[in-house]
Structure 1
Amino acid sequence: MTGIPAPAVIAAPRQDRRRMLARVPFAIVGLYLFVAVFGPLLITYDPVHTPLGDRLLSPGSMTSTGDTAWLGTDGLGRDILAQIVYGARTSVVIGAATVGLSCLVGVGLGAVAGYARGWLDAVLARVFDVLLAFPAILLAIVIAGAFERSVLVVVVALSATAWISFARVTRGVALSLRERAWVDAARVMGVRGRSILGRHVLPFTAGPVIALATLEFALVVLAEAGLSFLGIGLPSSAVSWGQTIANGKGYLESAWWISTLPGLTLSVLIINIGILGDQLTARYGRGRLDDRRTKTGDPL
């Protein structure tokens, strides 16, 4: 150990621990994704079937079919573990669909507004501000309550305002990039605006958009659970953590596991996605994905 300063020797293990702790949210979110994709393939569950003889079994109890209800059953005899597993798939599908649709619309409008500027930017910017001032969850409740319950309606309801954040972030990046030397050079060379957007502007929005998408995914999952808890989200034939939590609110004293376990599952996912989003925002949230290329003027 000669020649190595003592503070450096002490700091190395600390840095290793910090790196390990920083990877924990990635591992937990990856576990949720694994359960959402492969869990329903391993567990047979019918959300419509209600074996009333197995109702309100405590965790670890034996069911009438000889199986073990590891996390207990609800007031209709349905297995809580299976509802959590199938609810994970529902949350991932709705979250990915909503964030994907919002990203597509928001990034497109934001890039056009930031690059074009002038009256088009002024009009779109005012539209963004007006919609942003409207309560997002209230608009989602109105849309979801006005139509028959389905996955498509939930995705549309949650996407109605989620795209605005993507548009604002992309517009800010595009406003700064349109003044860069390589963009001016492309305009002087006669490159069409569509090509400039696709090759010299949009690639630089990848970092901030990915960081924002992570945070929006957590908000969408939480909002979907809220809509299902209120009974205006998914139909009864679909499994949702919000529905499972709502089904157990009348049994909080006698069967705490019905609402508590799905609630803890939802909380752990939201917390870890939030931490993961904060890490990505700190790294890429201000467009630092391509800092070295930006400083050297290389368009990619």
Structure 2
Amino acid sequence: MPAPSFGDFQKWVIDEFRANAGVVGDPFEGSSLLLLTTTGARTRRRHTTPLGYLDIDGVRVVVASAGGADHHPAWLHNLRAHPIVTVEVGTEKYPAVASVMEDRALWDEVVRQAPGYGEYQRKTSRVIPLVELRPLPTAGAERVSGLGDFVKEAHEWLDTELEAVLAQVDELIATADTTTPMTLPPRTLHDQMRERCLAFCGALEQHHNGEDRGAFPMLAAEFPALAPTLEKLQAEHVVVAETNASIRELVEGYVPGVADPRGLRAELQGLVSRLREHFAYEEATILDALNAINR
């Protein structure tokens, strides 16, 4: 029987951890262990990694040692791109902001408490980073809605409007299917679609202007580690604005009875998928932090 892979071993550790309230046997007997869930820097998929940790003067620290390898671990690349992470310790699970730290005094204390990390540093020429995991306030039943909840509600409304536009295009297609080809469908149906699209495009533009001018500066001031994520989101807003304009032009340029509604549907679906991808990315990376700054 082949030896288990590293991935299989990690899965066993994660399963043991969650099945036993954070306690894992050999070879981790007596170790302080947590599960760190990051978002893939490129894939945006969630990845969970078991890590040792230390609590030093109220600071929860993990060490990007990778066993003394000459390359940083993948989870470090992920959290540098997406600093909002999920931490599991014992039976507790909470969101946190991960910050890479350069603190010689803290490193000395880490090595004093866990000398093995000093051995790892001697094995590699790279400087092994320390990462602080700063907890964000967790949502409770008593919690009032925060800014993150408001952003999610705005996304849900925008998504509902997108779905309604697609439904109106489907109705145009159904109308075309039940009449002689190229017969003019009811003009009012296209007018309704144009009006809804106009309202959506204006609302999305206002939503992103509010984030760029209000929410994002607040986040940057409170959580400096989020700066790369916020820069990426602001860059995405430029692309989203172009997508928004393309939706408006597509709907405005559609001529009932002349243009094929199926072509309109196909092009719209691609643009709608792009907007939904952006909404999902924004929610995954900053909603917990937005809720935290309202407390």
Scaled by the length of structure 2, the TM-score of the pair is 0.31
Higher strand proportion: 2
Scaled by the length of structure 1, the TM-score of the pair is 0.31
Taking CA–CA contacts closer than 8 Å with sequence separation of 6 or more, which of the two structures ends up with the larger relative contact order?
A: 1
